[in-house]
Structures are given as structure tokens and as C-alpha cells.
Structure 1
Amino acid sequence: MGGVTSIRRAVVTLPAAELGPDNPLPPLSPLDEVHHVEDRDLHDLPRDMARQIRYEPLRSLLPVRARDGYGRRRAPRDLDALVLENDRLAVTVLPSLGGRIASLLHKPTGRELLYRNPVFQPANFALNGAWYSGGVEWNIGATGHTTLSCSPLHAARVPAPDGGEMLRLWEWERLRDLPFQVDLWLPDGSDFLYVGVRVRNPHERPRPLYWWSNTAVPEECRVLAPADAAYHFGYERRLRRVPVPLHDGADRSHPLDSRHAADYFYDVPAGRRRWIAALDADGHGLVQTSTDALCGRKLFVWGTGPGGRRWQEWLTEPGTGGYCEIQAGLARTQLEHVRLDAEGEVSWLEAYGPLDAPRDGAWPDVVREAEARLAAVLPRASVDAAYAAWRTRADTDPGEVLATGSGWGALEVLRTGWKLPGTPFPEETLGEEQQPWRELLRTGSYPEPRRVRPPGPSLVAPHWRDMLETAPATPSAEYHLGVAQWHAGDHAQAVRSWERGLELAPSLWPLLRCLAVADRLDGHRERAADRYAEAFDDLCRERRDDGEAWTAASAALGREAIEALLAAGRPAAARAVWERLGPDIRARGRFRLAEAALLLAEGRREAARAVLDDDLEPADLREGADDIDRLWARAGDGPLPARLDFRMRPEGT
């Protein structure tokens, strides 16, 4: 039985943009997340939903760093892949990019069941920035796309329940400090990929948990789910229950019948089988189903408006077809977080495969027929039995290691001695970023760097903060302690730690920048501007080379300094920072926007308009941001050009 299924290494070659380095500045500002429910809507929601929407929403990106060093210049690039295959399906997984399933090919028909992006183009959609579209992604952490979207996961072979091979992916999710695993399994002769997922909480206190499996499919389809109502959420940030499929005069089960981008979270009745399908005009497509723990189902559409179309082009290649997303999660909506008990875990099994069913006709009839077709090819009892069989292998130690993720899980296991059967985080996976924290753990002292360079990442969990508070008060220890205190909400103490660090530090700019952020958020614009200018001067004096780390620091600090100086009404000082940035940095699309803002502050409207009229491509433009709209309103004439129109809100909202 197991001889047919195989896992092999492969290479996927795509036109791809480089990811670039992470932003070295700790993200101290509150999280700017577009998925936020207005308080006025909470009163009309079911009590459990409202309670889970209020339950520990993410306030900060720390300890994760922002990932904004990518661009839009693409060149052929080889991506390491793992292919899981039987005689019916070929599943291509990208372990270095969040473990995403890039392709799900049904071999008997030759049909690709997913939307397979023909390029790799990061864009600013993940919680920490870089994200790319297509395939099946595993979203864990908090509302939004996971910070692991473009990060490597651990991967290994594991014996499957039928005696064949299973591909295990696992990592340590750092926003909530939770280890998780994803096991991909193709039973011999099966048309369905099984995916077993487990998330564990090894801590002594409960943790908020978020999970949504997100599948991109071609948008020229009809999406079916077993519900006659859904909770609609759009970029106007209103959550309300609407009928399915007809709403506001349009059939929302057809993605191209929606003008504006929106989420539809299906209100699947209790006891009903959990599934969602996307079928093309001939009734062929993909179905996803699961055990009942994964209870939520969702459709996301970009809409046919100019903003949605522009984003589709931005994320792929014009003319290659658009996509929508069908998703499955642990709650009814993505605005909720569920409680994972102390020392507890949650697990479930998903199945992905082809479905052939008539899609046209009255909603109750086509849903009923699709569910009957699903029951015929994959009975609900078979999914439950597969889950029970998978659970017997969930703790099995991995065999051959196929890819390596981060060392953060190894650091936590080293600190606690936790035993996590099935998901080892061996000490040999510790890397350069973990080494100073390993030394703090062993010696009680945070080491000073041996050479001048931008600071490494901070850790902010209470146990690390406690260790920093008792460590010798070196400049680096005070810097990281301040970051941890800031994350904990003790802003006054964080400022005192950074100020103490300034008295000792040979490198001033990291501490000055932290103090500048504190001033800006407290409304002290002038003092923030002063500190940003001083920090940038110090960075320019200290910078040792044109390496990746120093360039990333110059770009990140320069951008923040220009914004702060302009906010304080000091364009001349902002111009001085601009002139000291390297030409490669000034040529980036985001800095062209900063240049336009600077020119407007100098009263040079025509020059600012010329910048916007140029072939402007700000690679890290944020989902839902209105930067370009506001600049155009000040510098442009007439309507916003289509190439700059990324607006997602309905008109008048």
C-alpha cells in the first residue's frame, strides 16, 4: 500500500522578487490591522462570537520583525520544493515559504485544483509585511496572514497511518508562543489529500489561538457551502449577517458578481458537515472538508472594482487570471480568537480533492447535490476514521529531515525542557539570532556585540523580560529590556531603560530611535523629530559598510525620520535626511512616495506631481492604506489614475 506514495525533492522555477532583509527596527507602534469590528456591531452579534472578537486581539507585532525589504524586480529563481505523490494526486509544497501548497494536481484529469500563481511577488498583506498569493497557506497567530508566510518551516518524513510516507511541517509560532504541526498524507489510490493539524499550548496559562487554512482558487467559479446566511465584512469595517447567496441584488456565490472586496463567513448550522467547494462553469473544481473542530468556512472576493482589479495585477502578472479564496478556520469568523487551555492542544483533519457537481441552479438544490456528491466520493465517516488513524502517528518522531526552520523553538525548549513528541526542536537548529539569548539563559548576562552592527531581534515574553531585569545593565541589555517593557505596556519604565542605555552605549541610534517612537506616540512631535534627526546622524557616522544589514537600517530609520520631520513641519531637515540616503534606497517606490510628500511640504507641487506621474511602484504598499490617495489629492488633477488605484472601500465610506 505504501509503495505507491512518495515524497521527493524538486525545484520550482518562477519569476521571483527577492525577499530582502527584515526591518532591523523593533516594531513599537500599535499594530495597524484593517480587520477591526466597530463596537456598534458587537451588540447585534451572537454572544460567543462577540466574546471571541474581544478575546485578546493582537496589539503588537513583537517579537517578530517587520519584513519590508522586498522589491518588485523579478528574475527567474529556483525555489526548493517537496512533492508528495500517489497515482492520483501530485502535491507541491514550498517549505521555505511557510510550507505553502503551491500546486494540487489531479493526475487522471490533468486539472490543477488550486490557483497557482505564475510568479513569486511579495506584498504587504501579512501581519509582518511580506506575503504572496496562491495555493494553500496555513494561517496561525492572529487575525490576518501569518508572520510565517515567507519563512522556512521544519520538514521531515514520517510514517503515514497506512504504512506509506507522510510529510510533516512544524514550527514555533512566536506571536502566541505556540508550536504547531501540519501533516500531509496521501493514502494509496486516494483522490484526496489529508492534512492533519495540531497546535499545542505547553504553557501554564491559556493562550489565544487563531487558525485559518486559506485556499486560492480561480475566481471564475461558483463557491458553495452548506449555509443560507453569512457574516459579511468589508473594508468599511462593518460585520453583519446577510442572506446567502443573494445579497444587495447580486448572487455573491459568484465572485465576479461582487464589485467590492469582502469576506463572507458562512453561518454553517450546528451538526452540518463542514465543507466548501469552488466549481467552474463545467462543474469541476475543488472541495475542502474537515472534522468538525475546524468549524468556520469563508469566501473572500477581490471584487470587480478598480482597486480589487489593481491588487490582483499587483500580486501576479496582468492577464493571467484572478483568484478568490475559500477558507476554513477554528471560529465562525477571522475576527475571533479561541481559548487554548494551559498544557492543552487542539487538532483536526482536513481533506482536499476534486469534486464534480452541477453548480447552476437554485442554491438549496446545488448545495444539496454537491454535498451528496461529496458524500459519495468521501463519506464524512471516512474523514473521521482518517483523523483517528492520523492521531496514532501524530507523536511519531520525524525521520529524514527535508528542510530546517528557525531556531526559536529550540531556544524555548532549551529554556524549559519541554517534551513535544512529534515536533522536535533540536539544539543544533539554534542560529546566530538566538545565540545572545542562549548566553543570557546560561550566564545571566546579555552579551555586548563583538563588532559594531545593528541590534539583533528582541524577545519580549515575561520570562525573558525577567531575565533582562536581573542581568547586568549593559547597553544592549537596557535596549532589549526597554523593548520588552514597552511590549508589556510599561512605557514609562521602557523609556527609563532606554535613557539608562544612552548613558553607556557606544551606539546611540537604536536607543534614540526607540525614544523617538515613544515621543511620537505620546504626541511630542518636536522632540520626536529631534531624536529622529539625532539618531539618523549617529547611524550615518557609525555605518561601517554597504552590506545588507546596514542598508536595511539606513532605509528603515531614514524613512521614519523623514515622516517625523515632515509631521513636525521641518521640510529642510527632512530634505537633509533624504539627501544622505543612498541612491538605491531613494529609487525604491516607497521612497518615491516620501519624496513626493517632501516636495509638497516644500511647496513644489509640480515636482511632486511629476513623481506620481512617473512609473511609481511602492512595493510595500499596505492593504487598505490610503497613502497614494492622499498624495494625489494634494498633487494631482482629475481622478486617480488606474495604475495608482488600490482603493478597497466602497465609494462614500
Structure 2
Amino acid sequence: MSTVHHPIVLPDAPAAERARLDAGGVACWEQAITIDTYEPAEPDRYPLFLDRRVYQGSSGKVYPIPFTDRILPERRPREWRAIHLENRWVRLVLLPELGGRIHIGYDKTRDYDFFYRNNVIKPALVGLAGPWISGGVEFNWPQHHRPATYLPVETHLERHEDGSVTAWHGDLDPLQRMRASHGIRLRGDSSLIELEARLVNRTDVPQTFLWWANVAARSHDRYQSFFPTDVRYVADHARRAITAFPRADRPYYGVDYPALGAARAGADRIDLSGNVRVPTSYMVTDTVDDFFGGYDHDERAGFVHWADRAIAPGKKMWTWGNGEVGHAWDRHLTDGDGPYVELMAGVFTDNQPDFTWLRPGETRSFRQYWYPIQDIGPAVQATLDAAVGLEVDGLGASVGVAATAEHADVRIELRRGAAVLGAWSAAIGPGRPFTATIELDEPATRDDLVLVVEGDGRELVRWSARPAASGEPWVATEPPAPAEIASSDELVVTGRHLAQYRHPTRAAEPYFAEAVRRDAGDARARLGLARLAYDRGEPEAALEHLEAALARETRRNLNPEHADVQLLRALVLERLGRFAEAADAFGKAVWDGALALPALLGRARLALRAGDARRSLEFAEQASRTDASSTQAVAARVVALRALGRDADAGSLLSLARAADPLDPLLAALADDLDPVDPRTLLTMAHELHRLGDRPRGIRLAERAAGTSPGRFGNPAPLASYALAAFLDEADEPGRAAAARTAARAAEVRLAFPAGLDDLDALRAALAAEPGDARAAGLLGCWLLDAGRTADALVALERSIAGGADDPVVWRNAAVALVNTGGDLDVADERYARALDLAGGQDARLVYERDQLASIRGLDAPTRIAGIEAAGPEALVRDDLAVEYAGLLVDTGRAADALDLLDRRTFQPFEGGEGRVIAVFDRASAAVAGDLLRTDPRAARDLLAAGVAVPERLGEGRHPAEVVAERFVLLGDAEAALGDRPAAEAAWRRACDVDGPLAATGHTVSARDAWIGTAHLRLGEPEEAERVWAALEARAAELEASADRVDYFATSLPELLLFPVDTAERRAAEARELRELADAGRRSMEAAA
């Protein structure tokens, strides 16, 4: 593969757009650009049920999105759709095929990319569904990272009357099916980049979300992240730790910044990218200001972000770190553009994870802004008009002003109290900042001064010192177990928190259940349990909870303050087919103004179902008056008008609504103009229109969805055929319904992952009509596995198998369900064997999962090796299987084979899963070197020394806190065998040096520490060795006493994946090993004495 770096070539604007630019306006056009690209491999055909996966501190659940776990190694030029936005000062390139991200943000006045320009599309395994790229601006919602970050979005270009242009991007979130639109706007008279976002919960139930605009900027030793000057502290993920800012006043991420600062002036400043040596996040805890950004001191340029802090408090810095780990990730993500820092802006969120609620039908709209700055240094204050820099050094001050628009005459004043220290008049504009230096009469600090910039008869920006917040910000703590919580109120609050924050390893249900155990009528806890049951497709259980909640709420007050119980009750009754009762419950929910919109929409669709189109129209019009922006209310009106024969009125209403929101898929479907990039949208709209009462269009859309093919969005085809069958049965067309079910059984089933209650209802209807339908039973089992109803899933999957299922996914899912329900592991293995046969015998994922099952079954290493090797070398395309196989080879005395395997391939780690390849590499190296010590100590020395720096092919870098003692002990032994005692002692000393400024908080003691004790013995330091043995015993005691649960604040735990992990047994086994190593160490001390 060529390693030549090919910069992206940007095309010139077409003639018509060039004319707009020359006239001072905005050019906007769509034209593909060629970018060298590493393509992701095909998505995994198997659904991944990753409920226990910890991702970015919250749930890493990815289903029903197909998962991709490998990137192809070859780079090839590829044409990407690109939208170009340009004015006199700024040029942007947007990529609709990659989530609608800004890929290039270029300051024309300074020839500077103020957003990181990655000249290659080189995804790494960072995203929720696998592939993720660095650079530009990624718009993350409804969780981090954007689930659709590597999927295409719809687009629409809008020219406004003032000459500005907005490039709109929109999609339905592939996980929750909420809708987001974001528009990037440029104006002819401003360098502002304006983002307008509209987030809509178009589902029936409350949903949680966050929004982070993830900006990347090229980083180096002199790139500085700046926050408002009143920011005194920053926090880690989930506020689990804090430190001072910009000079860290305590160890943070294990790095002792105060010690580094004492050794080298300025090394404690975490606002300078080069000082941060390990992967690190920090987020602002408090500020009264609206801005932040980054500044490149070498280029004397940077950018400012501005947003209303009342709704946009999130201000975050993330870096891979200026160390071995970071450099390895740089290689994964780019071919030549170097490291970057992320300066992320959160709206309706201030931390990660930090989710907020969207009520059903609710729309949130907001704006964010960025603009380039030049020459002024890091901004100390910024508005949408201008940013100012102010540096004060004793008797001198430097002033800078960068504006977002042209100003012919601004007045700039630097004051101290009532005294004006300096006053200037200047013409400024984008790319033409004002800078000045001034000598002061007496020493001052920046906080003593006030800087005011006025122009066009108003104040553009003012700097004055903000009062410092008193005390340190709070740090989060882990909630107690349900039984340990005293009050029912706290139980409910904790359960809601865990649900809202999508906690990956703590469930909300036990907290709600404990509250109900104490008080069977607790309405809030019952509502929480009802929501969980409804989402799991258990409407009867949900209704039982809701009736209990309603009884409590209305015991003394027939009109509760909130109608959440009634709204969910209406939805449950509707699902159960009890339409008259549902209509009454929707009517009662209308009393709550916050829920009037979804309740009125419910009344409208049930009225139409009952044949009362006039009443339906009345409800739909009320819904529109409740929220004029609701396209769902417009859709209900259109359907009702058509049912009344008022087609012209319906057409006029639909045209007006589509002009206001051209990307809305429901309106497009009503206009027979829906051609989505996501084929699942066809099925989503089919269900919505059928439910709304437009059954013919629902049927037509289902027919179209049934004709689609599998892709990165998944495969709706068989599910669409089952939905079509249900629609036709309801329309009393049993012949066509049966044909649709036949088509479902014949359809391509790869990547068909059912999700949502509509899919569940369609599958249940199919099995009610034809109980022997193996395809429907297999898909139902898949749905139930995702819902956490594992026992029910196993029943459905075994039913599918009994019906003759020949899909390897069904057999594999049955194995997963067996293991996760505590079933017969040998039978589970048989299910895997059959799945492998159906898949052709060489399916790498099945081989890996079957080997994991073999480990759970307690099979020995030779047996597991035989199982892997029987699948052929093609199975080792998977990194996780290759690492497991290499470890087994070491365990069975085949370390040389393991090293050979590691030497012949390039690894691609998942973010958070780093360290596994290095660990097996070190084990194999040590085992081979141990053998060589007896026959060829020089070769042993060379092998061990060569692996101190991790080979790039392994894809990982050593963390400073990593214990590498075994390698250095053996290296010292090799040097000693070669007669070089000083070199031997130096190596043994390096084995002992595991704590330092870059590992200040110490490492977690593990079995590897025994080698530290051995190194001390080699150096004649028995007292230090004894401290190591004591530390091993102390860690063993800690493990034995610790609770059986995963770290509450973990941000990434990729090992908690498909099968349950017996954490108690793992801790017990580790404790036993540590005690055995301590005993062995003491025996070796006694023998040496």
C-alpha cells in the first residue's frame, strides 16, 4: 500500500456561485470530492446484544444497528458527496454520507484550517457501531458518539432572502427513531458559522438524549484550549474526579501534574495539549460565560465557540494524549495529519454521560456558533460580534480584538477603575484583527483591568474579571444498593437517574421494585416499572403497574398534576386493542398541557380508526394549535382531510408544511415522495401511516420496504413483509396476507434485526396466523433477546429450530440465550456447531464466540486451540480471536508460534480495549526469551529490548502506568548472563520504577507486580521485595472483601459483552493467585538468604 499523503483538493466554485462570492455573497454548491479512504469491512451478520457494554460511561447497546469490527487495510481514492459553503472569509466542506459532519473549516484570510482537516477517511473502531473518523465537526446525538456517525443523512439546501445559505441535514436516529435536523448556515457579511438544530421526539414515550458538537483542532505543544477565565475547576466523565484549571493542582488521570510542574515550569498546565501525556477528558463545571475555544500559538490563529450557556453549558476538552497511546491512535486515524484535540460543545448537557429528557412529541431548537480568530491570543471574552484577548505582564499589557463582521470605526478602551489606560480607534473585520501593546504606569494583573469594544453605536464585547466561585465543585458518588437506601423517594430518584443516564451496569428496576415492596401503591415507582415493561413488550404487566399508580394518584384527587400515567395507560390499552378505553385515557391525558400534543394525536388516530374523520380532524387541529411545529399533527390533519374528501385542502396544507420542513419523512410519505437513504424509514413510515389511518399508503410503503436490500442500516425486508401481512389481515384480505408471509419467509434475512413495538406486533400476528413459521419465530427470538427477555427468547428460538430454521443467526442466538439463562452449556455448544455448519464452517465470529463458551465450559487450552485451528486460518481475521489464540499458544508452550502470529498481522483495537495485544505480546516474548536465556542469552536480550517500544503493527501504545517488570527482569538476566552487570542492574532498576509523575496515583496491584519483587531481590533489596509481597496480599484481601459488582464509574469495559461474567469468581481466582505469588516470593527470599 502506498504511504504517499494526498491532500484533499477542493474544487473551485462554479461560475454562478463564483459570481455570488465576487459580489460579497455566499456560494453554495454540491460537488463530490475525492478522498483517500479506508473502507470498513462488511457489517457483522449477527446481532450484538451488548446490554452490559460500557461505552463513554453509559450503555453501549448498539442493536439494531449492524456492527462493524474491522477496517480494511487498503487505502483507495473514493468520491464522497460534498456540500461546499463559502463566503469571503470562510470555506466549509460538509459530508452528508458521514452523518452530515463538517469535514473542513478553513480560514481564507489566514490560510489556516481552524478545524482539523483530515486528508484521509481512515475510520478506527471508536464509534458505537464500530467505524468513526477524526477531524472537522461531528454532531453527536442522541448519545456519544453519534450512532449514525458513519451513515448517510438526507440533505436540503436553503437560500434565504438575505442571501445567506443553510445546508440542512436530517435523519431518524437508528436506535431510538427520534428525528434530528441540523443546518449549517453562512452569511455574506459575517465569518460566523451558525448551526441550527431541531431535535424531535417523534415517538410515543419520553426519551433521553444529549447533544455534543465534537470539534477537532490540530494540536501540538503550543496549541492551547481556552475556557472562560472564571473556570477554576474541570471534571472528568460523570464528575468522578476534578482538578484545578488551567494548572492541575492534583493528580488527574493518574498523572502528577504538580510534580511535573515543579520539575519543569508550565508542565502542570493542562490547557496546553503537549503537556497532556495520556488519554484525558475534562469538562467545565461552572462558568457564567458563553464561549470557549482553541488557539494555535504557532499559527497565531484559532477559533471561538459561542452558545447560550443557559441551554449549552457543555465545554469539554479531549485528547488521546501526547504519549505512546496517543501516537498509536494518531496512526489509526490518519496517514499524515498528526494529532488533534477535541473541543466539544454540549447543549442540554454539561458532562458525559449527562442526558436530559424529551417528552413525546416535543421539539427542541437551538443554535451554536463558531468563528475563526487571528493574532489576539486565547480569547478572554467573546460574543457573536467579537472576541478579545488580553495578556498582562507586570507593567505591560497586550490587547487584541477579532471581529465577525466589518466595522469601519470601533473604539477600544482599556480601563483600570475610572482611569482610561489606553484608547484606540480602528477599522476591523474578519481576518483584520486589532492588536496593540501598552505600558502601564503601575503593576497590574488582568483581573484589575476592564476592556471594552464599541462599534456601530453599541457595545460589541466587554472583558472584566468574573468573581471566583467559592469552594470546589461537587464530585459524584456511587448510589447505594436498593436495600441500603432509607427513603422511597431516594429509591425512585436513583432509579430515574439510572434510567435517564442509561447506566450500563446498574439497572433502574431493582430500585423501583424495592420502593413498591415497601409501598405497593407508590405511583412514581409503579410508573417507572410500567415504562420498563412497556418497552419490553409486556403490555399486560405495564397495565397492572399503571392501574396501581392511577389508584394512588386519584385516591384523593381525580385530577393529578401530571398525566404521565394516563398517557402511558392509553398507549398500553391501544396496543392491547382496547380502543375505547384508550380514547378515554388519551382524553384525560390532554388535561396535562405538557402532554396535550401526544394525547391529542392519540385521540385523532383513534377517532379515524372509529370512522369519525370529522372528530379526528378536530383533535388534529387542536394538536397543531398546541405545537405549530409538529409535523405529526400536520400529518394527522392531512389524513383526516383526505378521509373527508377535502383533497385540495389537504394538498395545500401538505405543501405549506413541506416547504417549512422539506426533510420530514412523514410529510414526504404523505406526498408520495419518500425516497430515504435509510430503507428502515420506509417501514417506520408504513407503520405510522397505517396507525394514523392512511392504510393504503401504509400498505404501499410496506411493499416498498419489502423490496429493499441489506446494508449498513440493516435489512427491513422480511419485517416489512410481516407488517404488510398484518395490514392486509386487518383489511380483510387474507389471501394477500398469506402471500406476504410467504414472501417474508423467502426474503433475504441477513441483517434483519427487528426492533420496536410495531415489529413485535407484526411478528406476533404472523405466528398467530401460522404457528409453524420458523422465520417469524427466529426474528421474534431476536427481538426478545434485545429486550432482555432471554427466557422468552429461548422459547421462540427453540420453536424456530423445531420448525426447521436454517439461518445460522437463529442457532447462534439460541446458544446465547441458553448460556444467559443458565442452560445446558453442552447444548449451547451444539447450537454453535450447527450454526457454524450452516455458515460454511469458517465464520470468524462464531468461532470466537464458541471459544468464549469453551472457556466458560472449562475446556483446557489444547482443546480450545484445536477448536480454533479446525476453523482454518481465515477465522483469525478477527483480532479478538487472534489475541485469544496467541494466549492459548503461550499457555501450551508454543510461545514462538504466538510471536510469529503477532508478527504477521496488524491489529485494530477498540477504544477502551487497548492493552490486550501488548499483554499477550509481552507474555509470548518473555516465554521465548526465558527459553533462549539457557542457550542464547544474546538473542534473548535482543528480543526483549526490541519489544520495550511496542511494534506499530500491534496497534497499541504502552500507558505510562503499565507494569513491564517481567520484560525488564528477564532483560537484566540476559545482560547478566552476557557478563554486563551494570546493564543488568539498570534493567532490574527499570523493572522497579513503576510509579512516577506519569503514574502518580499508582497502578492497581496485579500478578505482574511479583516481577517487581523479583527485581528487588536481584538488586539485593529484600526489604523492598517484602513490601511487594505485602502489597500482593493486601490486594488479595481487598478483592476478597469487595462487593460483587463492576466499577460504577467505568467509562469503557469491552469485556462485559455477550456472555455474563462471573466477577466474583474472577476476583476470587485473582486473590488466590496473588497470595500464591506472595508466598512464592517469600520462599525465594528465604532460599536466597
Provide the aligned length of Structure 1 versus Structure 2.
Answer: 604
Of Structure 1 and Structure 2, the greater strand share is in: 1
Is contact 2:302-2:374 (8 Å) kept? yes
2:231 match: 228
- The structural deviation recorded for 1:114 is 1.3
Q: 1:361 to 1:348 in 2, by over 3 A?
A: closer
- Give the residue type in structure 2 aligned to 1:18: E
Distance 2:93 2:789 in 1: 46
Q: 1:66 to 1:615 in 2, by over 3 A?
A: same
1:279 match: 296
1:636 and 2:925 are equivalent in the alignment: yes
2:337 match: 320
Distance 2:725 2:798 in 1: 25
1:181 and 2:453 are equivalent in the alignment: no
User: Mean Cα displacement is larger for which, 147-156 or 502-511?
Assistant: 502-511
Q: 1:184 to 1:381 in 2, by over 3 A?
A: farther
Q: 1:96 to 1:31 in 2, by over 3 A?
A: farther
Distance 1:618 1:96 in 2: 27
Distance 2:280 2:332 in 1: 18
1:439 and 2:456 are equivalent in the alignment: no
Q: How does 1:551-630 map to 2 (within 5 A)?
A: 554-568=843-857, 569=859, 574-575=864-865, 578-579=868-869, 581=871, 586-587=876-877, 589=879, 592-600=882-890, 602-612=892-902, 614-630=903-919
Q: How does 1:77-96 map to 2 (within 5 A)?
A: 77-96=78-97
**Residue 501 of structure 1: SS of its match in structure 2?**
helix
1:289 and 2:312 are equivalent in the alignment: no
TM-score between the two structures when normalised by the length of structure 1:
0.82
Distance 1:89 1:582 in 2: 54
Q: 1:289 to 1:361 in 2, by over 3 A?
A: closer
- Give the residue type in structure 2 aligned to 1:10: Q
Aligned-residue CA RMSD (Å): 3.8
Q: How does 1:209-608 map to 2 (within 5 A)?
A: 209-220=209-220, 221-226=223-228, 227-233=230-236, 239-247=240-248, 248-249=257-258, 250-270=268-288, 272-292=289-309, 293-317=311-335, 320-330=337-347, 331-359=349-377, 369=389, 376-377=403-404, 395-397=660-662, 405-417=677-689, 430=705, 431-432=708-709, 433-444=715-726, 455-472=750-767, 473=771, 474-522=773-821, 526-540=826-840, 554-568=843-857, 569=859, 574-575=864-865, 578-579=868-869, 581=871, 586-587=876-877, 589=879, 592-600=882-890, 602-608=892-898
1:7 match: 28
- The structural deviation recorded for 1:595 is 3.9
Q: 1:592 to 1:555 in 2, by over 3 A?
A: same
- Give the residue type in structure 1 aligned to 2:318: F
- The structural deviation recorded for 1:460 is 2.1
**Residue 351 of structure 1: SS of its match in structure 2?**
strand
TM-score between the two structures when normalised by the length of structure 2:
0.51
Q: 1:343 to 1:363 in 2, by over 3 A?
A: closer
Identity %: 22
- Give the residue type in structure 1 aligned to 2:803: L
- The structural deviation recorded for 1:478 is 1.2
1:51 match: none
2:578 match: none
Distance 2:459 2:777 in 1: 57
User: Mean Cα displacement is larger for which, 156-165 or 144-153?
Assistant: 156-165
Is contact 1:153-1:169 (8 Å) kept? yes
Is contact 2:180-2:198 (8 Å) kept? yes
Is contact 1:231-1:264 (8 Å) kept? yes
The one-character-per-residue Cα deviations of 1:293-313 (angstroms, maximum 9, x if unpaired) are 232110001112211221112
The one-character-per-residue Cα deviations of 1:346-381 (angstroms, maximum 9, x if unpaired) are 1211222211254379999xx973799788437999
Is contact 1:138-1:146 (8 Å) kept? yes
The one-character-per-residue Cα deviations of 1:206-263 (angstroms, maximum 9, x if unpaired) are 10012111011011210111142344337xx872222111103310111111111111
Distance 2:204 2:313 in 1: 26
Distance 1:411 1:341 in 2: 23
User: Mean Cα displacement is larger for which, 603-612 or 390-399?
Assistant: 390-399
Distance 1:539 1:66 in 2: 18
Q: How does 1:7-26 map to 2 (within 5 A)?
A: 7-26=28-47
- Give the residue type in structure 2 aligned to 1:514: N
Distance 1:429 1:370 in 2: 61
1:165 and 2:162 are equivalent in the alignment: no
**Residue 72 of structure 1: SS of its match in structure 2?**
strand
Distance 1:538 1:176 in 2: 32
1:146 and 2:149 are equivalent in the alignment: no
Distance 1:413 1:452 in 2: 20
Distance 2:911 2:303 in 1: 30
Q: 1:59 to 1:121 in 2, by over 3 A?
A: closer
**Residue 332 of structure 2: SS of its match in structure 1?**
helix
Q: 1:404 to 1:185 in 2, by over 3 A?
A: farther
- Give the residue type in structure 2 aligned to 1:471: A
- The structural deviation recorded for 1:582 is 6.5
Is contact 1:172-1:178 (8 Å) kept? yes
**Residue 369 of structure 1: SS of its match in structure 2?**
strand
Q: 1:527 to 1:584 in 2, by over 3 A?
A: closer
Q: 1:241 to 1:627 in 2, by over 3 A?
A: same
Distance 1:513 1:189 in 2: 60
**Residue 120 of structure 2: SS of its match in structure 1?**
coil
Is contact 1:17-1:120 (8 Å) kept? yes
Considering only CA atoms, is the larger Rg found in Structure 1 or Structure 2?
2
Distance 2:379 2:161 in 1: 40
**Residue 636 of structure 1: SS of its match in structure 2?**
helix
Distance 1:137 1:32 in 2: 23
Asked which structure has the greater RCO (Cα within 8 Å, sep 6+), the reply is 1
Distance 1:223 1:581 in 2: 51
User: Mean Cα displacement is larger for which, 132-141 or 26-35?
Assistant: 26-35
Q: 1:641 to 1:533 in 2, by over 3 A?
A: farther
Distance 2:754 2:805 in 1: 22
Distance 1:429 1:68 in 2: 30
Q: 1:429 to 1:284 in 2, by over 3 A?
A: farther
- Give the residue type in structure 2 aligned to 1:183: G
- Give the residue type in structure 1 aligned to 2:104: S
Is contact 1:624-1:648 (8 Å) kept? no
Q: Which runs of 5+ in 1 are unaligned?
A: 37-56, 384-389, 420-424, 542-550
